[in-house]
Amino acid sequence: MPLLRIENVDKYYGSKGNITKALNHVSFEVEKGEFLGIMGSSGSGKTTLLNAIATIHRVTAGHIYLEGADITQLKNKELAKFRMEKLGFVFQDFNLLDNFTLEENIGLALTIKGVPKEAVYNKVITAAEQLGIRDALSKMPSEVSGGQRQRCACARAIINKPSLLLADEPTGALDSHSAQMLLESFKSLNRDRAATILMVTHDVFSASYCSRILFLKDGMIFTEIRRGDKTRREFFQEILDVVTLMGGKDSHDN
């Protein structure tokens, strides 16, 4: 059984006369332990897809099964449990709490769960070190750079060792060194903990870390490619070729 099965998912925004079909009959499966990249130009439905899987948005039609259970049918309490226990999420806009330090932001989910202070602290330190933001832990989000905020959001998402990590452009605001550190920590989470990762990215280098890439276009799956036995460099070139085929550079590329 696949870890995740997306079945004929539609997501429409708006109402009569002004409808955007953000996802249009999307179906695919993700095996446990896959590191799946999701690419596609701005507005192609990537965030919408991730939000649907994270149960942040209800789908208009279709079903999403996690370990065989239909998460589109979960009710409040089960939803909260699913998000708390299984899911790590890095939002496109980071979503940090402004009035909490980075340390508090990263440890929040564990604190809420009632994990003892010292255990939370140790886990926060480990995650922060992994992402190179240990020195910034006592600062507020407004006092650090965009890249540090993004790494804080990633540390918060991985601290729980989620079995499913959803990341919406986690490397978007990072310099190449920080991006590489982040990708390496995703890779080890994926390899050592068999975490399944879905990562939206516009960046071909980041995408080359994935084991498979799904390309979205106008809310539909355009194509998919697998890394297989290819080297990262070969896969990079292949991704670049598809991106070019689909219409070349989009607004997010610099």
Q: Does 201 bind Mg ion (CB under 5 A)?
A: no
d(Cα 210, Cα 36) in Å, to the nearest integer?
A: 6
| 137 vs 221 by CB, closer to ligand ATP | 221
- Member of 43, 67, 134, 238 binding ligand ATP (CB under 6 A): 43
d(Cα 126, Cα 81) in Å, to the nearest integer?
A: 25
The H-or-E segment that residue 20 falls in is strand 20-30
| 92 vs 111 by CB, closer to Mg ion | 92
30: left (phi over 0), alpha (psi -120 to 50) or beta: beta
- Residue 50's SS3 state is helix
User: Footprint of ligand ATP on residues 53-72 (CB under 6 A)?
Assistant: none
Which of Mg ion, ligand ATP, none sits in contact with 138, Cβ below 5 to 8 A by type? none
Q: Which stretch binds ligand ATP (CB under 6 A): 38-46, 183-191, 203-211, 224-232?
A: 38-46
- Member of 44, 150, 196, 206 binding ligand ATP (CB under 6 A): 44
Evaluate the CA torsion angle 89, 50, 55, 149 in order and state its sign: positive
Q: Phi and psi dihedrals of 142, rounded to 5?
A: -70, -15
- Member of 20, 122, 176, 244 binding ligand ATP (CB under 6 A): 20
Which of Mg ion, ligand ATP, none sits in contact with 183, Cβ below 5 to 8 A by type? none
Q: Which stretch binds Mg ion (CB under 5 A): 42-50, 59-67, 124-132, 219-227?
A: 42-50
| 115 vs 220 by CB, closer to ligand ATP | 220
Residues whose CB is less than 8 angstroms from the CB of residue 166 and which lie 6 or more positions away in sequence, other chains included: 50, 53, 54, 87, 88, 89, 90, 197, 198
Q: Does 13 bind ligand ATP (CB under 6 A)?
A: yes
Task: Compute how many other C-beta atoms are within 10 angstroms of the C-beta atom of residue 43.
Answer: 15
Rule CB under 6 A: which residues touch ligand ATP?
13-14, 20, 22, 40, 42-48, 92, 252
